[in-house]
Structure 1
Amino acid sequence: MALPWIAAGLAGLLALHFLQKTCFPYFWADLIYLLKVVRYGLRIEIYKRTGSVVTVVDNFMEQARRVPNKPFLIYQEQVYTYRDVDRRSNQVAQVFMKYSPLEKEDTVAMLMSNEPDFLNVWFGLAKLGCRLAFLNYNIRSRSLLHCFHSSGAKMLIVGADMVETLEEILPNLQEDNISVWVMAKEVSIKGVNTILDKLEHVTDKPVPQHLCHVSSIRAATLYIFTSGTTGLPKAALISQLQTLKGAAGIWAFGGTEDDIVYITLPLYHSAASLIGIGGSIYLGATCVLKKKFSASQFWIDCKKHNVTVVQYIGELCRYLCNQPLKEGEKDHKVRMAVGNGVRSDVWKEFIRRFGDIKMCELYGATEGNICFMNHTGKIGSVGRSNIFYKLLFPFELIKYDIQKDEPIINEQGWCERVKKGETGLLISQVNKNNPFFGYAGNKNHTTKKLLCNVFRKGDVYFNTGDLMVQDSENFLYFRDRIGDTFRWKGENVATTEVADIIGMLNFIQEANIYGVAIPEHEGKVGMASIIVKANETLDVKTIYEQIVTYLPGYARPRFLRLQENMEMTGTFKQQKFRLVEQGFNPSAVPDPLYFLDDSEKSYVPLTKDIYDKILSGQIKL
């Protein structure tokens, strides 16, 4: 008698399974991911309610107690255990307790490249309750000085390999009585303190625990610099909440304590520091740290160290795919790649070349309050949303006028949502659960990133500055950036900063900076449209010297366009849209064009031959 009921039950289960696969193919993937989000969110909620936050550095100290002898960091063949880094960072903390007047919540700026002492200084000062400002070591002179001051730092700590950069700004720092320390035993620069010699004379015992106690999840812990949309780099305030969210990224994608994470991105970036280092600590995993990314060395390192998880940006994947074919390219243990900005064609080629690696694409601005994670592996997508995710992290895609560079407002005075399949500006609602912490220094920078009265009076949204599209299956795809920023080599380039640097030259009347697309390249490469003052002549060699001196490599315009008049918009802004569309083809652009040639240490006329070699890849950008 029971057999018909069993048969009917099995048939029903099969029918439900078929229905789920057909109508809800991502149900289980969505459910598992959502449960992880909720589980981690409950932990954050406990921190809020109890007023006692377990920070990333607290997690590190706990791992040092739990697995003291486990390798935490591998750098240039040297292995550092959790205990090694814990004790070394204790010594750093002891040095500054003994030799400096630092107090809890003081800000200290770090100008250091990827090296173990970056982490020792970071963790050591965090144990004293200090905030850290991670300075981009690519920027120089005026921009670097601006970044330091905007963070409100009282002290600067410099890596031994950054002394030359330090010397450019040291007189200004000394005028302001800023305490400067170098990770060296001795330096020949007057008025600069050294650290390594003092480490030998302090204990490696922990400093008092109360110094690093954090009572609010919203408390500031780091400043990480971002170009934002305009002007010089801005110090994005990173709260304990944001560091904890970043640290859960690799775990949310399926990372475990047995993983070995390969980090080649700069530690001053949130990707490497918050997701890479923070993620390794959360898991209790091992990380392999490289000073700089090397395409030729990448897979060699992965095989040597049995790497299982790698971090990437889109450009990194493209560089690897452009390497010459070699035997055994799939002979490695990498199972997962976590990052952002990879194009669909590069994504497919990367998997074809290097094996069945789970590509964990994510989206999130350093200072933003919204994050997407592509937990299903859909090629080209930055993530997927659903009704439950939107309840936790409310966001919208709104209509945007690219030429006017502003949201489209309807007759009632409100913004309008785009339909699925249409490109819109991504905005994320600001509320108590998804706060926007803004930038240090000028409050105008923070308010400019907010849109108020968007759909109703009183609502507030964070403006990501990114154009995205959501398809019928709720997958999200990045399309472009808006405003006065474009992305090149994994970095945001603020056009106004570049224009200011070129505009300092006495023969330049005006400079209009924008990014132009190049086939087979991620992001956009910089181009400067310039007008020379009356009775002055164009000096391309001087422009070259100016941009090399004051701009990092990724921000230097590779192309110049000499114009007689600058087109303006109806609101008297420089017209970029048409210039971007016209590009850099000397056969199509009526104005004289120039190309940055490092071998000549100047800009040279952009000929059809140079143009063709750029498109074919013979000239590398």
Structure 2
Amino acid sequence: MELFFTSTILAGAFIIIPFALKTLFPYFWMDLRYAGVLVRILVRYVANRRRRPPSFALERFLEQAAALSDKPFVAFGDETYTYADADRESNKIANALRSQPGYEAGVTAALFMGNEPRFLFTWLALAKLGSPVALLNYNIRSKSLLHCFNCCKAKVLVAAAELKEAVEDVLPSLMEQGVTVLLLVKSCDTPGIVGFSDKVEEAADTPLPRSIRSHVTFKSPAVYIYTSGTTGLPKAALVDQNRLLSALVVISAYGVKSKDVMYVNLPLYHTAGFLVGFLGCMETGSTLVLKRKFSASQFWDDCRKYNVTVIQYIGEVMRYLCCTPKRDADKSHKVRLAIGNGVRAEVWKEFLSRFGNIQISEFYASTEGNIGFLNYTGKIGAVGRVHFLHKRLFPYTLVKYDTERDEPLRDANGLCIETSKGKTGLLVSKITDVTPFVGYAENEEQTERKKLRNVLKKGDLYFNTGDLMRIDNDNFIYFQDRVGDTFRWKGENVATTEVSDILSMSDCLQEANVYGVQVPGHEGRAGMSAATLKNGARFDGSKLYDHVVSCLPSYARPRFIRLQSSVEVTATFKQMKAKLVNQGFDPENIQEPLYILDDRAQSYVPLTAEIYRSILSGSMKL
């Protein structure tokens, strides 16, 4: 009888304990599963670091090329390349580079091209030669292009044929520096530019000896990825081989399998497109469907055409898709997983309702940062969750932040003040050997500005993410906003100082204070400038339009101009933005002249109450 009662009690416990855990701690099993994921990531990372000879990201591709030689690696339009094809094509490019005067294995090269298979093959080729690669934004021109090229000390520029004019604009400066300029055309009649495609066609596809890249270590630069900052010009975030390796093992936790087909339409020069898209497929052995650029109208048709199972997104992508006309085939697709960041809760809900039960794998990370989160629970609106093991491995905290003074608040001892749950604070992450911060190429000042000392105790060192976050009572983490002068629009970071400098170079504007304003129905913030006119000048909307279009990429062009008699500054001559941001662009609340960028009229036209209402209603899109 005693045995019977004991057995009954044990059986009851097995039933009650899981039920109690689910009731009292609803995320217990998810947290436990994620702990297992973190342990696997750590074990795999350590194992990779111990391999001899050293194994880097390129070695992972070579392993896949050997194991999955006949499997499709890249699909682009009607073209398909297997893993073996990609290996051979990159060998041809590498061999062509080796025979090119002016190129030496190991020197830094810059890649200036859009989304196409040759982007991937050229990067692989340069990796086989041990050359770090700077991934240039193909939208930049003149001063910004030269800056980005120079700050990574590149000796070679490989550019796409359609970017010939942009290259010719900066060619005199490149020639003065003795830069080798290779254009992906068969021949080029411009002195100083070498047609490179014919040389690639004639090159052998024989593998490159490993000895060519024997100089590469875990601390060697792998790629330079550019991120906008408050200085007005892009910063080159140095991604070393160690970081690339750690990114690969982290990506393996996102849920992508070898049988998956991933749709990549985000720029390959960005972290999302390059690391999560390209290297993510390389890591998992999956197939990458590459698109030149995002198209909301073609998105789902492409997914059906290529049997896509995994998609990438940023917040704007989700919103654009939700804004397309509804179709009967909206849920007719094979997409099971969406990986990305920046989607708002209401868009998240609409996306799932509209397009079916797709797993949203929202994450938080930055190109140069040393902290990241993964929303492994699927909690709508959150970027992650506080997890005991994650925080132990990657120490971080939220500290109180003074948005007016643009700096963390400190106590009487000079230490930062941690925020309480439910309150917004600046996310900072401790810099350690496990979570290093490498910094920016040729920009020690900006590197130093991202470091925060004496945070929780004297002498400690943290990375300042520049992002305001909030942790709720259930330990979910939510992105709130960006601090400083940089704002985000159309999925791109916009540096206000760069835009301000461009506006001040126009014929009519003397001084320009640039900031971002929230627009209902749009992700991020739209660019706006409070500006003054030059003495004796009148506002010419057409000329100003031509000026910004020729000098700035579309996402950085101010949507609104507000004319003022003077720009308000602080005692230290820092432009005041907070009040302007709060006032927005409502013509009924602002008595000063307001203008809006009108692409159809190719001019800045007066912002009327009618136009303002059409923006609020959603009938006019920016």
TM-score range for the pair, normalised by the shorter chain length? over 0.9
What's the counterpart of residue 287 of structure 1? 288
What's the counterpart of residue 376 of structure 1? 377
Please provide the CA RMSD for this pair.
1.5
Equivalent residues in 2 for 1:223-302 (5 A)?
A: 223-302=224-303
Are 2:36 and 1:35 aligned?
yes
Q: Which amino acid aligns with 1:128?
A: L
What's the counterpart of residue 9 of structure 2? 8
2: CA distance between counterparts of 1:465 and 1:79?
41
What's the counterpart of residue 411 of structure 1? 412
What's the counterpart of residue 562 of structure 1? 563
Q: Which amino acid aligns with 1:135?
A: L
Are 2:214 and 1:218 aligned?
no
The CA deviation at 1:49 is 4.8
Tell whether the 8 Å contact from 1:248 to 1:279 is kept in structure 2 after alignment. Answer: no
Q: Percent identity?
A: 49
The CA deviation at 1:22 is 1.9
Farther-moved stretch of structure 1 (127-136 vs 532-541): 532-541
Q: Deviations over 1:501-537 (max 9, x none)?
A: 1112354331100000001110000001101233333
What's the counterpart of residue 350 of structure 2? 349
Tell whether the 8 Å contact from 1:427 to 1:462 is kept in structure 2 after alignment. Answer: yes
Tell whether the 8 Å contact from 1:262 to 1:287 is kept in structure 2 after alignment. Answer: yes
2:296 is paired with a residue whose SS is coil
Tell whether the 8 Å contact from 1:140 to 1:550 is kept in structure 2 after alignment. Answer: yes
The CA deviation at 1:249 is 4.6
2: CA distance between counterparts of 1:488 and 1:212?
39
Equivalent residues in 2 for 1:94-493 (5 A)?
A: 94-213=95-214, 216-493=217-494
Q: Deviations over 1:396-435 (max 9, x none)?
A: 1000011121111112211100001000001111111100
2: CA distance between counterparts of 1:177 and 1:570?
45
Farther-moved stretch of structure 1 (404-413 vs 340-349): 404-413
Q: Which amino acid aligns with 2:368?
A: E
Q: Which amino acid aligns with 1:251?
A: S
Farther-moved stretch of structure 1 (356-365 vs 251-260): 251-260
Tell whether the 8 Å contact from 1:52 to 1:215 is kept in structure 2 after alignment. Answer: no
Tell whether the 8 Å contact from 2:45 to 2:249 is kept in structure 1 after alignment. Answer: no
2: CA distance between counterparts of 1:514 and 1:592?
17
Q: Which amino acid aligns with 1:544?
A: Y
What's the counterpart of residue 531 of structure 1? 532
Q: Deviations over 1:416-458 (max 9, x none)?
A: 0000100000111111110001000121110011111222221
Q: Which amino acid aligns with 2:326?
A: L
**Runs ≥4 in structure 1, deviation > 6 angstroms?**
none
Tell whether the 8 Å contact from 1:230 to 1:485 is kept in structure 2 after alignment. Answer: no
1: CA distance between counterparts of 2:215 and 2:273?
23
1: CA distance between counterparts of 2:310 and 2:376?
15
2: CA distance between counterparts of 1:113 and 1:454?
41
2: CA distance between counterparts of 1:412 and 1:55?
44
The CA deviation at 1:489 is 0.5
The CA deviation at 1:160 is 1.5
2: CA distance between counterparts of 1:51 and 1:216?
12
Q: Which amino acid aligns with 2:222?
A: T
Number of residue pairs matched? Answer: 621
1:275 is paired with a residue whose SS is helix
Q: Which amino acid aligns with 1:379?
A: I
Q: Deviations over 1:544-578 (max 9, x none)?
A: 22211111000000100001122223543111000
Tell whether the 8 Å contact from 2:588 to 2:609 is kept in structure 1 after alignment. Answer: yes
Q: Deviations over 1:46-76 (max 9, x none)?
A: 3445574322221111111001000001000
1: CA distance between counterparts of 2:217 and 2:252?
24
Tell whether the 8 Å contact from 2:98 to 2:105 is kept in structure 1 after alignment. Answer: no
Tell whether the 8 Å contact from 1:484 to 1:494 is kept in structure 2 after alignment. Answer: yes
Q: Which amino acid aligns with 1:312?
A: Y
Does the C-alpha gap of structure 1 residues 613 and 214 become closer, same or farther in structure 2, counting only changes over 3 Å? farther
Tell whether the 8 Å contact from 2:102 to 2:180 is kept in structure 1 after alignment. Answer: no
1:242 is paired with a residue whose SS is helix
1: CA distance between counterparts of 2:134 and 2:251?
24
Q: Deviations over 1:365-419 (max 9, x none)?
A: 1111111111111000011122211110111100001112111111221110000
Q: Which amino acid aligns with 2:199?
A: K
1:505 is paired with a residue whose SS is coil
Farther-moved stretch of structure 1 (17-26 vs 603-612): 17-26
Equivalent residues in 2 for 1:75-90 (5 A)?
A: 75-90=76-91
Q: Which amino acid aligns with 2:424?
A: T
Farther-moved stretch of structure 1 (204-213 vs 257-266): 204-213
The CA deviation at 1:498 is 0.4
The CA deviation at 1:136 is 0.3
2: CA distance between counterparts of 1:138 and 1:458?
42
Q: Which amino acid aligns with 1:243?
A: L
Tell whether the 8 Å contact from 1:424 to 1:467 is kept in structure 2 after alignment. Answer: yes
Does the C-alpha gap of structure 1 residues 447 and 352 become closer, same or farther in structure 2, counting only changes over 3 Å? same
Q: Which amino acid aligns with 1:239?
A: D
2: CA distance between counterparts of 1:248 and 1:373?
14
Tell whether the 8 Å contact from 2:597 to 2:604 is kept in structure 1 after alignment. Answer: yes
Q: Which amino acid aligns with 1:234?
A: K
1: CA distance between counterparts of 2:175 and 2:436?
37
2: CA distance between counterparts of 1:242 and 1:578?
40
2:404 is paired with a residue whose SS is coil
Tell whether the 8 Å contact from 1:404 to 1:569 is kept in structure 2 after alignment. Answer: no
Q: Deviations over 1:329-371 (max 9, x none)?
A: 1111100000000000000000000000000001111111111
2:133 is paired with a residue whose SS is strand
Q: Deviations over 1:280-308 (max 9, x none)?
A: 11111111000111111110111111111
Farther-moved stretch of structure 1 (500-509 vs 290-299): 500-509
2: CA distance between counterparts of 1:368 and 1:599?
40
The CA deviation at 1:100 is 3.4
Farther-moved stretch of structure 1 (450-459 vs 492-501): 450-459
Are 2:506 and 1:505 aligned?
yes
Q: Which amino acid aligns with 2:500?
A: A
2: CA distance between counterparts of 1:490 and 1:149?
25
1: CA distance between counterparts of 2:433 and 2:215?
19
1: CA distance between counterparts of 2:280 and 2:54?
17
1:297 is paired with a residue whose SS is helix
1: CA distance between counterparts of 2:461 and 2:111?
34
2: CA distance between counterparts of 1:349 and 1:597?
29
Tell whether the 8 Å contact from 1:67 to 1:82 is kept in structure 2 after alignment. Answer: yes
Tell whether the 8 Å contact from 1:265 to 1:271 is kept in structure 2 after alignment. Answer: yes
1: CA distance between counterparts of 2:301 and 2:100?
43
1:339 is paired with a residue whose SS is strand
TM (norm. structure 1) is: 0.97
1: CA distance between counterparts of 2:364 and 2:570?
31
1:33 is paired with a residue whose SS is helix
2:429 is paired with a residue whose SS is strand
2: CA distance between counterparts of 1:104 and 1:273?
22
The CA deviation at 1:492 is 0.2
Does the C-alpha gap of structure 1 residues 451 and 143 become closer, same or farther in structure 2, counting only changes over 3 Å? same
2: CA distance between counterparts of 1:129 and 1:117?
18
The CA deviation at 1:97 is 1.0
Runs of 5+ consecutive residues of structure 2 not aligned to the other structure: none
1:19 is paired with a residue whose SS is helix
What's the counterpart of residue 540 of structure 1? 541
Q: Which amino acid aligns with 1:527?
A: M
The CA deviation at 1:200 is 2.6
The CA deviation at 1:214 is 6.8
1: CA distance between counterparts of 2:252 and 2:45?
15
1:479 is paired with a residue whose SS is strand
Tell whether the 8 Å contact from 1:51 to 1:216 is kept in structure 2 after alignment. Answer: no
TM (norm. structure 2) is: 0.97
Q: Deviations over 1:568-592 (max 9, x none)?
A: 2354311100000000000011211
